[in-house]
Amino acid sequence: MEGVDKLTEIMDAKRREIAPFARPVTDAELAAFAGRRLPPGFRQSLDVPGRLTVIAEVKRASPSVGQIKAEVDAVAQARLYAEAGADCLSVLTETTYFQGRLADLVEVTHDQAKRPTPLPCIRKDFMVHPFQVLEAAQAGARCILIIVRGLTDDEIRPIHRAAKLAGLDTLFEVHDEAELERALRHDPDMVGVNNRNLSSFQIDLTFAERVIPQMPKHVLKVAESGIKTPADAARMRAAGAHALLVGESLMRAADPAELLQAFRRA
């Protein structure tokens, strides 16, 4: 339906989905994972002076474009990204709208753990409850996503706290200045700007060009969505981005390795 805010729809669906099994998690449950995290961390892997870093995303579908690569094997795609020089991985675990699954993350992190230089993974999902943070830690994630627009501050606090207890990094996602202001209340050290309008699905790279320069110096800045060419990557770099999160264009590329390297050189 025209004008429907897709993010609201997805967040409401996620709350219904996890309601039957979400439960309170204890500090001890979360803290048990903190000591198991070997370096480098997710944020640390993206903080490389002098060049753009790339979070390469395993993404089968999305509400905005439909099917992207439905039959892709998550482990094979993650290996391709790792061999192409990605700095971190993003694995979609949302099923209804993105055709991901938590098992994809488990399989990818298990496979990465066997590599000489494993890449840290973010669980890319719609976090609404600390129980999902525990799931992420159990699955081997090194980072979670908090979409500021989809949550109240009272919902963000326990999710962010749970991630800290579990030793996970947090990528706060914003779309505009008002959301950035809200994100900064939670003292983030990593913020991404989504260039996609989640009501219209239109891409506008000026979102990042406008918002990234307003972030504090200590925040690692990530540009997300709509980055299809090296020229797009160069625009994001010029705006002050330290890293890119790229899914669709890498999934569709005839030669993902060549495109990924072009992004890194931007």
Strand 61-62 to 66-67 pairing: antiparallel
Peptide bond into 40 cis (omega under 30): yes
179 is a catalytic site residue: no
In angstroms, how far is CA 237 from the centroid of its own chain?
Answer: 18
Compute the distance between CA of residue 63 and CA of residue 96 in angstroms, rounded to an integer: 10
Compute the distance between CA of residue 167 and CA of residue 203 in angstroms, rounded to an integer: 33
**Residue 206's CB: how many other CB atoms inside 10 A?**
10
17 is a catalytic site residue: no
197 is a catalytic site residue: no
Catalytic annotation, pick one of 173, 179, 209, 248? 173
Catalytic annotation, pick one of 57, 179, 209, 248? 57
225 is a catalytic site residue: yes
124 is a catalytic site residue: yes
Catalytic annotation, pick one of 124, 135, 195, 221? 124
- Asked if 244 and 52 count as a contact pair (C-beta separation under 8 A), the reply is yes
59 is a catalytic site residue: yes
Compute the distance between CA of residue 52 and CA of residue 237 in angstroms, rounded to an integer: 7
Catalytic annotation, pick one of 59, 90, 94, 248? 59
164 is a catalytic site residue: no
Catalytic annotation, pick one of 45, 62, 90, 194? 194
Give the three-class secondary structure for 246. strand
**Residue 153's CB: how many other CB atoms inside 10 A?**
11
Q: Provide the β-strand partners of residue 171.
A: 145
Query: What amino acid positions are annotated as catalytic residues?
Result: 57, 59, 124, 173, 194, 224-225
